Amino acid sequence: MENTRITAANGCEVIKVVTDSGVTGYIDASIPPDAIEAWYRRLGADLRRPIAHSRRILRQNQRRTPRPMRKRTRRRRSGPRLWPPRRGRPLIVLR
Protein backbone atom coordinates (compact mmCIF):
# COMPACT_ATOMS: atom_id res chain seq x y z
CA MET A 1 0.00 0.00 0.00
CA GLU A 2 1.42 3.37 -1.06
CA ASN A 3 0.63 6.68 0.61
CA THR A 4 1.45 10.05 -1.00
CA ARG A 5 0.43 13.54 0.15
CA ILE A 6 -0.98 15.85 -2.49
CA THR A 7 -2.91 19.12 -2.53
CA ALA A 8 -6.38 18.84 -4.05
CA ALA A 9 -7.92 21.34 -6.47
CA ASN A 10 -9.83 23.04 -3.63
CA GLY A 11 -6.59 23.64 -1.68
CA CYS A 12 -7.02 20.92 0.95
CA GLU A 13 -4.19 18.53 1.64
CA VAL A 14 -5.16 14.89 1.01
CA ILE A 15 -3.43 11.53 1.07
CA LYS A 16 -3.57 9.41 -2.06
CA VAL A 17 -3.68 5.73 -1.13
CA VAL A 18 -2.97 3.02 -3.70
CA THR A 19 -3.54 -0.52 -2.46
CA ASP A 20 -1.63 -3.61 -3.57
CA SER A 21 -4.54 -4.61 -5.83
CA GLY A 22 -4.46 -1.22 -7.59
CA VAL A 23 -7.42 0.50 -5.92
CA THR A 24 -6.92 4.25 -5.46
CA GLY A 25 -8.50 6.29 -2.68
CA TYR A 26 -8.19 9.84 -1.41
CA ILE A 27 -8.35 10.57 2.34
CA ASP A 28 -8.18 13.81 4.31
CA ALA A 29 -4.66 14.49 5.60
CA SER A 30 -5.90 15.30 9.12
CA ILE A 31 -6.44 11.55 9.68
CA PRO A 32 -3.19 9.90 10.91
CA PRO A 33 -1.72 7.27 8.52
CA ASP A 34 -1.59 4.65 11.28
CA ALA A 35 -5.36 4.91 11.67
CA ILE A 36 -5.81 4.48 7.92
CA GLU A 37 -3.71 1.31 7.87
CA ALA A 38 -5.56 -0.11 10.90
CA TRP A 39 -8.90 0.64 9.22
CA TYR A 40 -7.70 -1.04 6.01
CA ARG A 41 -6.66 -4.17 7.95
CA ARG A 42 -10.00 -4.26 9.76
CA LEU A 43 -11.93 -3.84 6.49
CA GLY A 44 -9.95 -6.68 4.93
CA ALA A 45 -10.72 -8.95 7.87
CA ASP A 46 -14.43 -8.09 7.63
CA LEU A 47 -14.49 -8.83 3.91
CA ARG A 48 -12.92 -12.27 4.47
CA ARG A 49 -15.85 -13.29 6.70
CA PRO A 50 -18.91 -14.80 5.03
CA ILE A 51 -21.78 -12.41 4.27
CA ALA A 52 -24.11 -14.42 6.54
CA HIS A 53 -22.02 -13.41 9.55
CA SER A 54 -22.45 -9.69 8.92
CA ARG A 55 -26.18 -10.15 8.28
CA ARG A 56 -26.56 -12.04 11.56
CA ILE A 57 -24.74 -9.29 13.45
CA LEU A 58 -26.98 -6.70 11.78
CA ARG A 59 -30.12 -8.61 12.81
CA GLN A 60 -28.86 -8.88 16.39
CA ASN A 61 -28.31 -5.13 16.56
CA GLN A 62 -31.76 -4.35 15.14
CA ARG A 63 -33.67 -6.58 17.56
CA ARG A 64 -35.92 -4.89 20.06
CA THR A 65 -34.77 -4.79 23.63
CA PRO A 66 -37.05 -6.69 26.03
CA ARG A 67 -39.45 -4.53 28.00
CA PRO A 68 -40.67 -5.44 31.47
CA MET A 69 -44.09 -7.07 31.54
CA ARG A 70 -47.05 -5.36 33.14
CA LYS A 71 -47.79 -6.52 36.66
CA ARG A 72 -51.58 -6.60 36.22
CA THR A 73 -53.08 -8.33 33.25
CA ARG A 74 -56.68 -7.11 33.75
CA ARG A 75 -58.19 -3.75 34.47
CA ARG A 76 -59.62 -3.57 37.95
CA ARG A 77 -63.21 -2.40 38.07
CA SER A 78 -64.95 -1.04 41.07
CA GLY A 79 -66.92 -3.88 42.62
CA PRO A 80 -70.18 -3.78 44.58
CA ARG A 81 -68.37 -3.05 47.85
CA LEU A 82 -67.17 0.29 46.50
CA TRP A 83 -70.57 1.45 45.25
CA PRO A 84 -72.37 3.99 47.45
CA PRO A 85 -75.26 2.63 49.52
CA ARG A 86 -78.67 2.82 47.82
CA ARG A 87 -80.77 3.02 51.01
CA GLY A 88 -80.36 4.93 54.20
CA ARG A 89 -78.79 8.31 54.71
CA PRO A 90 -77.21 9.88 51.66
CA LEU A 91 -73.45 10.48 51.83
CA ILE A 92 -73.70 14.12 50.73
CA VAL A 93 -76.49 16.40 51.89
CA LEU A 94 -77.10 19.51 49.84
CA ARG A 95 -79.13 22.28 51.57
What does the pLDDT profile of the chain (95 residues) look like in tens digits?
A: 788 889 988 888 998 889 888 999 888 888 887 888 898 899 888 888 888 988 898 888 888 777 777 776 666 666 555 555 566 665 665 65
Cβ(3)–Cβ(16) below 8 Å: yes
Structural domain count of the chain: 1
Q: Identify the pLDDT of residue 24.
A: 92
Q: Identify the pLDDT of residue 34.
A: 87
Q: Identify the pLDDT of residue 54.
A: 84
Structural domain includes residue 55: yes
What are the phi and psi torsion angles at 66 (to 5°)?
-65, 140
Structural domain includes residue 30: yes
Structural domain including 24 reads: 2-62
Structural domain includes residue 89: no
